[in-house]
Chain A
Amino acid sequence: MTKTAKQLFVLSLIIKLLLLPWFYHPDIKSQYFHFQYLSRGVTNIYQYIDQNKTNLPYQDTFNYLPLTYFTFGTYSAIVQKIAPPNFSTWINDWSDHQNNYANLPVFLFLLKLPYLFLDTLIGLLIYRLYPKKNYYLLWLFNPLVFYLIYVLQNFDILPVFFTFLAFYLLKRQRPSLSFFIFGLSIALKFYSLLLLPFFLISTRSNFSKLIKYSFISLIPLLFSVLPFINDSSFIRSFIGSGLTQKIIEFKLFSIPVFPIIYILYFLYSWRYSPSTIFKNITFIFLLFVCLVNFHSQWLLWFYPFYLLAFASSPKKLLLGHLLFLPLLLRVLLIDDNYLTWGHLIPIDPLFVKVTSPYNLIRYRLMQDPLKFQIIFQYLTFLTSFIIFFAHEKNNRH
């Protein structure tokens, strides 16, 4: 690594260390609320919540996979040892005073440290893949990356890191290891299954090898889920959970549109463009944001690949990122102050009471925010089409 590259990595670390303590989203607290139970000896969190729901200060179910629980549960146990003494009080405090903790920036700093590590590793992988190009800078100093990782602060960065590491290993001609690593991502979060078929066909392997790689990539999921498979509370946690529900939400003539187009596109790309992994993930991403009522943190799933698909020139980069304008405006108009001003409560807990854009439009401008959301949805469609066709045209030339 060159001296300049090293310094730029350090500079990005300094900037991110400054950001870490001062942004909050309740997801990080609700997730770590559940993760804390591993250090109390709870190995079946699904059953534990089911049996103790009425006595818990936070009563939502745990909708993530066992490997997620065990991985972050282990980190939670470490944090409990090194965090200020009132960490446990905060994580279990869901009262009106839950944001009034002077140590909140310290808690957030400690909880987000693994994200910083994983984010930097993705930067390193990009550097290793394209050492002579400055693509890694687009990742290291990218405001969208700052937002998706440190402001929305979901643990999705871990499965995203594994999918990207799998991509790196695939490029280094180590397919078996690559698909095992990809499997870790699936065992952490189901979304990776959306990308798996395109990883498989990019190897251009014969049918038996595709079966082999598919099996390898399912090993971590099978092993981690097997002990829970007969547990009804585990099964219940996943029925109707976020992604599975949302990808079939948009229907035409009672037929869910996203899965149908996804399958058709997969068959098309298997036949005509199996090796263009960036192009395929870009298409799935555009399809996803148009047809799925996504949570903002889900944008991170595709982003490293999407970014690299447009990294070759500033013009392309600008074109690819046009999409994020209507996407982020849609997020801003969701009726949830924790997606706007609420992010700043470590600076001042009263930020959660500042008028949200949703309420501003509804009560000050006396307009229906849904109208604007629909406009931004149409703009998302439009920019997605423009990006897809411009991208296709560029690739042909």
Chain B
Amino acid sequence: MKKIIAISFILLGFLLLILLPTLFITSRHSISNQSNPTFFNSLDIGHTYNFEVTTTNTNLNSLTFTLKNPQILNNNLIHFKISSGTDEKVLSFSGSNIGDPSNLVLKYKPLPTKNEGIVQINISTDNPDPNSLYLLTDNHGQPVFNSTYYQSGFANRLKFNFHRLTSQLTQISFIYKTTYLLLLFTLFLFL
């Protein structure tokens, strides 16, 4: 009986390691631009940003930019247009949502993109003052950003998490895995 309980716990544990992220983690990291060094460049009517990113995943569902609104004085609107060719999202925020500096997370319903498709992003503003709102960019003037994609389908996520877990376990050195299993096995003999 005690052996059955121990085996049940081992199986349940393994199942939960795959099932928990499958149930609760639906968004994962997608493409990003985290190049160094970075600079705060002006964001005003005269300085808009148009750039393309090539996504590796479909269903982009969030973009994060770093902006700066010194002393949080500027209340002009900032517009983000995200277009995949087949669909388009337009999101506008008031400058009052920007800190000194802060990350602005744009969350939206998943934007269907073809695998390895191109997403166009346009950042513009109503702000006429060139010295009051800033966007973090790399040294080529490209905005620094992070993005996530929505991982659709339970079975798809389950498969992904199984592979992720097995890949994590293979990265752990053989000696630790063997010692751990030997310890469990030895204790098991005493049941």
Contacts and interface: CB of A to CB of B under 8 A. Distances in A.
A2 to B, nearest CB: 13
Nearest to B176: A106
Given A84-B173, A84-B176, A350 B28 contact: yes
B190 A10 contact: yes
B184 A11 contact: no
Given A14-B9, A84-B173, A351 B25 contact: yes
B171 interface: yes
B24 interface: yes
Contacts of B27: 350, 353
B130 interface: no
B17 A347 contact: yes
Interface string A187-216: 000000000000000000000000000000
B35 to A, nearest CB: 15
B187 interface: yes
Contacts of B109: none
B175 to A, nearest CB: 9
A6 B2 CA distance: 11
Interface stretch (A15-23, A290-298, A389-397): A15-23
Contact of B191 (A10, A109, A344, A347): A10
A7 interface: yes
A358 to B, nearest CB: 16
Chain B, interface residues (CB within 8 Å), range: 20 to 34
Given A7-B2, A14-B187, A354-B25, A109 B173 contact: no
Given A22-B17, A341-B24, A354-B24, A14 B171 contact: no
Interface residues of A, number: 25
B190 A102 contact: no
Nearest to A102: B171
B45 interface: no
A106 B183 CA distance: 14
B164 interface: yes
B156 interface: no
A27 interface: no
Given A102-B168, A347-B21, A11 B191 contact: yes
B13 interface: yes
A231 interface: no
A353 B146 CA distance: 14
Nearest to A83: B176
Contacts of A15: 6, 9
Interface string B31-61: 0000000000000000000000000000000
Contacts of A17: 180, 183-184, 187
A8 B2 contact: yes
B24 A351 contact: yes
A348 interface: yes
B6 A351 contact: no
B172 A103 contact: yes
A13 B20 contact: no
A22 B27 CA distance: 21
A18 B20 contact: no
B155 interface: no
Given A344-B20, A348-B25, A103 B9 contact: no
Contacts of A354: 24-25
B20 A6 contact: no
A105 interface: yes
Given A6-B190, A17-B187, A347-B21, A11 B172 contact: no
B9 A18 contact: yes
Given A11-B191, A14-B184, A347 B20 contact: yes
Contact of A109 (B180, B187, B188): B180
A109 B175 CA distance: 14
A275 B184 CA distance: 43
A347 B25 CA distance: 11
Q: Which of B17, B25, B171 has the most CB of A within 10 A?
A: B25
A201 B168 CA distance: 54
A102 B25 CA distance: 18
B150 to A, nearest CB: 13
B24 to A, nearest CB: 5
14 contacts: A10-B187, A11-B2, A11-B6, A13-B187, A14-B6, A18-B10, A102-B172, A103-B172, A103-B173, A348-B164, A350-B29, A351-B24, A351-B25, A354-B24
Given A105-B172, A347-B17, 8 more contacts: A11-B2, A18-B9, A84-B172, A84-B173, A106-B176, A341-B24, A350-B25, A350-B29
